[in-house]
Amino acid sequence: MKSFHKLLTITIITVFLGSCSTNSAASEQVQSDMLSDTYAYLTPEAIVYASSISNLIATFPKFRNDAVNREVSSLKGSLSDYLGAVRDFNQSSKHRSLEDFEKYYKKIQKLRKFMVKDDDEVLNRYMVKIKTNINLLEASQSKIDETSMSSN
């Protein structure tokens, strides 16, 4: 229960910092520092990637297209599950949540043609940042896995 309250506090602070901060790099650094205990086994770089994904989830805008908003909501859920699996070092849950993420990502890509240009550009920026941070986080974790396997 204590870790739930800590995570809730971090989430609230993250939302506050993400919506109030004009300097997202500073916001991500503060969030990264707070999450470092939660993701203690991760490298500092991996913590930055995880906190960046968390910040993107918290600040994802609403769009004028309800179908896109529904898929975005599901995508955000899969990303939250992914971060939980990373935190808990649960490989099967992480794999499942990444599959779910890919499914919603593809659905959103198909729906983009029905969006107004401004919304589409905002959505694209978020999707690129999320995908980039997932790839960087996965790469940093595979380095950890390789190191731990070679040291055995």
pTM of the model: 0.71
Chain position carrying tokens 């229960």: 1
pLDDT for 93: 97
Per residue in 36-92, pLDDT (tens digit) is 455 567 889 999 999 999 999 999 999 999 999 999 999 999 999 999 999 998 999
Q: Which of these ranges, 10-19, 27-36, 118-127, has the smallest mean pLDDT?
A: 10-19
Spans of all domains in the chain: 2-150
Question: Could you tell me which of 43, 55, 66, 27 has the C-alpha nearest to residue 126?
Answer: 55
Q: Spell 35-45 as b/e; 16+ CB within 10 A means b.
A: beebbeebeee
